[in-house]
Structure 1
Amino acid sequence: MRFRLTDDQRALQEGVRLLLTRRFGAQALRAAVGAGEAADGAGGDDPGASRAAARPDRDAAGAGAGPGRLDRGLWRLLGDAGFFSLRLPEADGGVGLGLPEAALMFEEAGRALLPGPLVATHLAAGTVPGAATGETVVTAVDGGLVEWLAEADVVRGDATGAVPLRSVDPLTPLHRAPDGHAAAPDPVAILLTAAEQLGTAARVGDLAAQHARAREQFGRPVGAFQAVAHLCAGILVRVETARAAVYAAAVTADPADIAAARLLADEAAVRGARDCLQVHGGMGFTWESEVHLHLKRAWVRTQRAGGVTESEELLAAALSPGAA
């Protein structure tokens, strides 16, 4: 079985990276973080009030993201680029590609810290009108949490009575649904989340290496010191291990492979971001840096699809003696 990327897959990945760099680069990320901070102080405890405050004029032509809002122009651009319709058959207006290509796209989304309920909207393409084109924002009750509830046009699952939470990630508004409202985890959703985690892990690895080469102490780059070099090497090892697992799971679509990919990608993202913060020192915690944002987003993603415990149990069952 071949896991090496084809030329077309590499071109797809590079194209998505270029699109996101142009449309959601460092300046747009900082602007979105500022909007998220403003929304965090204005939401209150009433989910109805939060929803009402978040949605005025959201569909205005050319409007960007504001407090607690998605950039609808960017969402539609993603739809035009085939982000949500990638796996739909061409006969149904989709791109006609598969899960491996979707994993590559979501890896780039994770790398860029692209906000929004990307996985839920992607999975809704073909079943929810407007989801494939980015005209409709879809979210889902996932592991008892609902991301971007106030901005969603469609909620998959029962979010009745959901209450707002103070999210550690300023770019991921969260609500908690009542117990028993969460649906069974979708293996594809788990895999695409793992791909996002892989993107975060790869990005923080790049940031750590760049800082280690550029920052000097005692007349030498800090990367020349053994402790820093070991941190960077550990990040790289975890990234490449997770990449092999995510790409393989995207090809096999086997639930056990997906569970393993999820565990490895979560570890690569969270530990990688923490180690990247160590490389940067106190600078990594400042709002001028994106490093802490990657760690916060990685923490939020670990809570999707029942958390890591469900994947651990599934993998343990698959590896136990007598398992089919």
Structure 2
Amino acid sequence: MQRYFGVLAAIAAFAMWGSLPIYWKQVAMVPALEVLCHRTAWSLLVTAIIVFSLGRWREVMAEMKRGGNIKILLSSALLLAANWLLYIWAVNSGYIIEASLGYFINPLINIGCGCLFFGERLRRGQILALFIASCAVIYLTVYYGRFPWIAITLAFSFAAYAVVHKKTTVSAVNALFIETVMLFLPAVAYIAWLQYTGVGSFLLHGRATTLFLVGAGVATTIPLLCFGYAAHNLRLATLGIFQYIAPSLSLVIGIFLYGEDFPAQRMVGFCLIWLAILLYMGESFYQRNKQNKALGHGE
């Protein structure tokens, strides 16, 4: 049952992340670092409400006193902040395609980390699926025409976040609360300094922009909670395949909502990726049904 809910949580997380370009376009006039600080500050408020409503305050306090957890969560908090900042900067600077490529590469890095750090093994059908996905990513990288440093950095930073997050025993809600606590003071200090010097965007660009900055806490927290739950209950290899949902959904939004250019050459790479996803999922369902039949026969 936990694995079933883990699958649902993974789908929800990546579907919400894939839709975020629509949200961030509403605050495109705000500098990336300032958006990051608002994401952090308002995320703490949202997670604090969740922690209190679930009655986990004492549990969180106990976990914050454990030195091992704090070191792990500080690392994951810094990795998460770096990933957020680079992604926001990339979108605001016109590198949306390269940022999207990063999230196509990231699942492959996740799968490699799963094999390297957690001893996860892949079956032949899964290896074939990953080979096809790797070819697609290489094709898209070559098609891009230069070394995609933004994509590579986004891919590795989020894979490292997943690995670190998986090594802690802290629950998804508690971990996110502690991570945002660690980032909260620097974020609020920077926002306060911007407002004091008169260059802050809060209340400057109208009510709508201000509400979107405040709402960044919800838009950030909910998918991260889903991702954290999925990371604890699914293999990184499985999680990596589901992660293709986010950049694929962003692709659909870019084409049909914002009319971005999508030539036939790029379509080839995306079709290969979807083929790999279908092959991986089909092989997994086949193996599961095979095991269920074997268990039924044994009874």
TM-score of the pair, normalised by structure 2 = 0.28
Higher strand share: 1
**Which structure shows the higher helix fraction?**
2
